[in-house]
Structure 1
């Protein structure tokens, strides 16, 4: 008689890429980097940042009318940040509870990963924003500002800017770490986790673009930084741990049948 597949964190289905590291890195590192490079190059070559900003600016009557609107400013900008922070606190409370409740013990490492990955991604983007010296659209000539436009990483003079990468969008994109959280715990839900992070990041990022706070490339870089941070911490904290857990659970199931 074959033992039934154990339930819980140890009873995982086959993890995509577990037995094929080359395929795993191709899917989660190589292809995303190639897609990012293609998108970033296309934006730079076709001046996509200004073309998209021109349309948003013209659509609002050649003014950033949504900059101070209740929906864009208070509801999405402030509310989105609070939602991301509140979600992080909830995960923290569950992790704290796992220290005292035995049935939550298998979730300690995945929860710790989720806490670190989301926080590290947001902090990384915020740190880069503090020294990259890029302007927001609303500071630039032609968009209601007074500063000349400089391309991404182009030499510049004048007052310091602090708008690249998009820190607010990272409050959403950092939750792409849910993909790897579920990859190690409930693989069937990994795409849902990725969708949550992407949807929240797109909502916050697009709203900021419509307010004149960021160019499209600012959000693209935030997305990639958040993904790479989540992937790096997954490799450091969770990759292979599900194998050990599955073996332990399978061993326990085998002993119980004997």
Structure 2
């Protein structure tokens, strides 16, 4: 197991990457979203100028562009997240604050996803097991192929573009031999300046008072904030794991670690 480092510096982890994938190991912990906000602020300082996000479908592009031009229209985006990504009491708040932060930093927001209703349609016709056996393409495969094309085309359009993208771990990394990750797909599209930062640990809260720790570390590591080289899933792309302590955010959603 790689040595822990308490100096969690996103600029060092990103290095000369043109694409940084922030991968949450679960959609549930609110702390992953606010750790990603911290990452965005550091990455902006080294020239990252686009923010892509799994949770935003392409069909909302006009609304997102309008919000970025005028500062108006965030409510419609939030309503979509409330309907489709409300995993627990904190998830939507975190996703909305990520969008607001990217906008305030002057990052162009890049939606990635297919219409949400298509996911069920694809998976009805192609179950996960069939897709894993290479018999058909389910929503996971279709989504990753689409995201990789969007990211690659944007990076190839202008050498000055650098992107940070927020998504689930098993989109960033492979989920099965048939379900390739964005890491591998980008390499096949000749994009190699990539880093992956995988978020683990933290708390999942189903209510304001009922919270469960997500760390696989024993104490005292479960309560510590640190980074390690490498990740839970192997990749040909340089990767890091940022461990979030099993601690609550402050009342103003600040980070105490």
Give TM class, smaller chain: under 0.3
Structure with greater Cα Rg:
1
TM-score normalized with structure 2 length? 0.28
TM-score normalized with structure 1 length? 0.28
Q: Higher helix fraction: Structure 1 or Structure 2?
A: 1
Q: Higher strand fraction: Structure 1 or Structure 2?
A: 2
